[in-house]
């Protein structure tokens, strides 16, 4: 099973462009990342620049509307993620619990939808796009 672990740092929604964690925090996080890798569960990871450097694209009546960051109305934003592959949800939660996060950070653990999760009619649609299927890390096919 694949899971996304989403890092949600409080007050990051208003962080200035170019805001970065300090070296001590990065060192602790890199050791954690290395433990995920050595355990063979890490598929991908990345940190994200603050929302002040981003944009949101919303849709209404078939039209896209772009809003440049920051997003003062946002209560939570994603600061980074890990994609892991484990056997059970509890294992994903255990890995999230080991993260050297600070008191202002939360990790949300979400299971990734696999091809096998979809009903037959959706699988038929997906089968029409074999090149896109090859890009997925789905291990249940």
Q: What is the pLDDT of residue 139?
A: 55
Residue 28 tokens read as 């602790």
Going from N- to C-terminal start, the domains of the chain cover 2-114
DSSP state of 128: T
User: Would you place residue 61 in the very low, low, confident or very high pLDDT band (cuts 50, 70, 90)?
Assistant: very high
Note the pTM of the prediction, 2 decimals.
Answer: 0.86
What's the mean per-residue pLDDT of the chain?
A: 91
Q: Select from 3.30.390.10, 3.40.630.30, 3.20.20.30, 3.30.70.1060 the CATH code of 2-114.
A: 3.30.70.1060
State the alpha helices, DSSP H only, in the chain: 23-38, 89-97, 120-126, 130-135
> How would you classify the pairing of strands 55-60 and 63-68?
antiparallel
């Amino acid at each position: 099973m694949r899971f996304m672990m989403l890092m949600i740092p409080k007050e990051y929604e208003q962080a200035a462009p170019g805001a970065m964690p300090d070296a001590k925090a990065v060192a602790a996080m890199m050791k954690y990342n290395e433990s995920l890798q050595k355990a063979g569960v890490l598929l991908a990871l990345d940190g994200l620049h603050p929302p002040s450097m981003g944009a949101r694209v919303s849709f209404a009546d078939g039209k896209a509307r772009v809003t440049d960051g920051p997003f003062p109305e946002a209560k939570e934003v994603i600061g980074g993620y890990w994609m892991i592959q484990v056997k059970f949800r509890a294992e994903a939660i255990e890995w999230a619990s080991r993260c050297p996060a600070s008191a202002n950070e939360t990790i949300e653990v979400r299971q990734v939808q696999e091809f096998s999760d979809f009903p037959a009619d959706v699988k038929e649609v997906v089968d029409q796009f074999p090149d896109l299927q090859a890009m997925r890390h789905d291990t249940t096919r």
